[in-house]
Amino acid sequence: MRKLVPLVVDALLVILFCAIGRRSHEEAVLAGLLKTVWPFAIGLAIGWVIAVSVARRTSGEPGRAGQFDGTAVWPVGVLVWLGTLCGGMLLRVISGQGTAFSFIIVAACVLALFLLGWRAAIKAIN
């Protein structure tokens, strides 16, 4: 159960990112939230799959769950961030949602702050 906490934190932060974005554009937050969240949620899942795969390959013992640290900034946080950003943007393009260059820059910065920031704070505290 404890191993799922970082995934839940990431998911909540991605939802918050999307809600803030909708609110800043004066769009109905709850009514259209799923439309905004789904590309980034799938990107988040992709990032997590890649992060777990990399951790398993580099742990020395394939499949040993004790080696995976979901709170690590590197490589887990970076892979989750990149998966969320790139996967989310690609799926937005495929689904016909907006991907203006300024949005990509803002999304990259905010998602980095959210997905890497909490991990860095945890490491600084511990």
Q: Is 40 exposed, middle or buried (0-12, 13-18, 19+ CB in 10 A)?
A: buried
Per-residue CA distances from 98 to 13, 36, 87 (Å): 21, 10, 14
Q: Is the pTM of this model over 0.85?
A: yes
Report the distance separating Cα 61 and Cα 49, nearest Å: 18
Report the distance separating Cα 126 and Cα 123, nearest Å: 5
| Backbone phi, psi, residue 96, to 5° | 80, 15
What tens digit of pLDDT does each residue of 91-120 get? 999 999 989 999 999 999 999 999 999 999
Report the distance separating Cα 105 and Cα 113, nearest Å: 12
Residue where the block lists tokens 């949620």 = 41
Q: Total structural domains in the chain?
A: 1
CA Rg, the chain, in Å?
A: 15
Q: Which domain does 50 fall in, by range?
A: 2-125
Three-class SS of residue 61? coil
Other Cβ atoms less than 10 A from the Cβ of 95: the count is 10
What tens digit of pLDDT does each residue of 9-48 get? 999 999 999 999 999 887 777 888 999 999 999 999 999 9
